[in-house]
Amino acid sequence: MRKSYFDSLTFNSIKGIAIILLFVLHFFASSDLWLPEFCVPSFQVFEKYFSHSLNMCIAMFAFLSGYGFWFNSEKNYSHSVHKAFKILTVYWKIYFLFFVVAVLTGLYSDFSLENIGLALIGLDEFHVVGDIIAFHWYLAFYLAILFLLPSFHYLLVRYNNILRDIFYLVIVPIFIFSFFGNQASSFYCLKRFFVDLILWFPCVGVGYVAARYSVFEMFDICFHKVCKRKMKYFRFIINIVFVILTFYGMYRFPGMIYTTKSAWILPIVINMSVFYILFFTYALTDFLRIIQDHWFQSILSALGRDSLYMWLLNGIFFNVFKTYTQPVLLYPKNALLVLVWGLFICFMLTRMLIALERCLKR
């Protein structure tokens, strides 16, 4: 099999950029996550213009999941089970740690077995901000990806038709998940689970298609043909255009909803990030190649390599601990410093947890 367009450093660097955008989304463009006394008015202004655009970070993770799947040496259910267990193990360790601290400090007293059981797979009624782990919804979504992709791959791998792949991986899932979402409409957590699949699985499909049909490599060929001289400057301008169009497009036109007369399916929702994610990811990748700053990429790669921990741990500022953690996060006062401070705290917590795990294994 041919090599991936991304080397491991670049792949993790893109994930690192996605994590930074995720932190910006949570810190500055999600005013409902903040306690009233800490919600700065400028957050609401920033949220108005950038909340939809910053959701591209979720599209990036979904896209990279589909892209990376194509280059897995194993594309079967046994590999999915192994990977799911690894991810769940990380999640459960953080959940258990937060749970114990919250109980011992008297910040958590809801011992409903149903809520705890659902929360352990990212499906509790709170969806976005749970009591113990915030933003845990992506766990259930990612577990679904792990088992859906081998099924779609088995159906499509025998054919070599890009339009067929786009149809079955991008369009068909929207209708399938809309149908199941409607059947589960009386169960809020399941309905939200299928809505997440409707919104973000098409980006997974785009990633799979981009990997299988060497779409990024074709972009490179097109650039070389269009402009052989001053290639670097031309690429830089095109990349800026891609990024600006993505942010502007997500601001002006984040999605479409088509309400059907059928009682069998939910309203059809099309998340427009599926149209932007390919060009947006390519632009960011090309920026990294143009800059060629190993130190800068190493920092991004370190954030991306531990993106699962970073995703889960940034919720410490918005779960049961937020009364105590939000003032700590806002301590630097300056927005840029708050972002760097929040990234630093979560990164250090990540390294401490990983170090602790290694010590316990010895």
Judge whether residue 150 has pLDDT over 80: yes
Report in angstroms the alpha-carbon separations of 5 from 104, 117, 211, 215. 48, 40, 8, 9
Interval 305-360: pLDDT, tens = 999 999 999 999 998 899 999 999 999 989 999 999 999 999 999 999 999 888 87
Contact 332, 341 (CB under 8 A): yes
Q: How far is CA 68 from the centre of its chain?
A: 14
337: CB partners within 8 A, 6+ apart: none
Judge whether residue 110 has pLDDT over 80: no
- The Cα 168–Cα 170 span in angstroms is 6
Helix, strand or coil, per DSSP, at residue 297 = helix
Contact 56, 250 (CB under 8 A): yes
Task: Please state the rounded mean pLDDT for residues 184-212.
Answer: 90
Please give the pLDDT value at position 186: 74
Question: Quick one: DSSP state of residue 134?
Answer: B
Pairwise pLDDT comparison (137 vs 167), residue with the higher score? 167
Please give the pLDDT value at position 129: 56
Helix, strand or coil, per DSSP, at residue 272 = coil
Pairwise pLDDT comparison (39 vs 26), residue with the higher score? 26
Q: How confident is the model at residue 225 (pLDDT cuts 50, 70, 90)?
A: low
Backbone angles phi, psi at 134, to 5 degrees: -85, 150
342: CB partners within 8 A, 6+ apart: 23, 27, 314, 317, 329
- The Cα 165–Cα 11 span in angstroms is 23
Mean pLDDT taken over the chain: 87
Please give the pLDDT value at position 115: 76
Please name the residue ranges forming H helices in 213-271.
Answer: 215-226, 231-252
73: CB partners within 8 A, 6+ apart: none
Task: Please state the rounded mean pLDDT for residues 71-84.
Answer: 90
b/e for 218-232, b at 16 or more Cβ within 10 A? ebeeeeeeeeeeeee
Angle formed by the axes of helices 294-305 and 8-28, to 10°?
A: 70
What does pTM read for this prediction? Answer: 0.92
Judge whether residue 216 has pLDDT over 60: yes
Q: How confident is the model at residue 221 (pLDDT cuts 50, 70, 90)?
A: confident
Amino acid at residue number 14: I
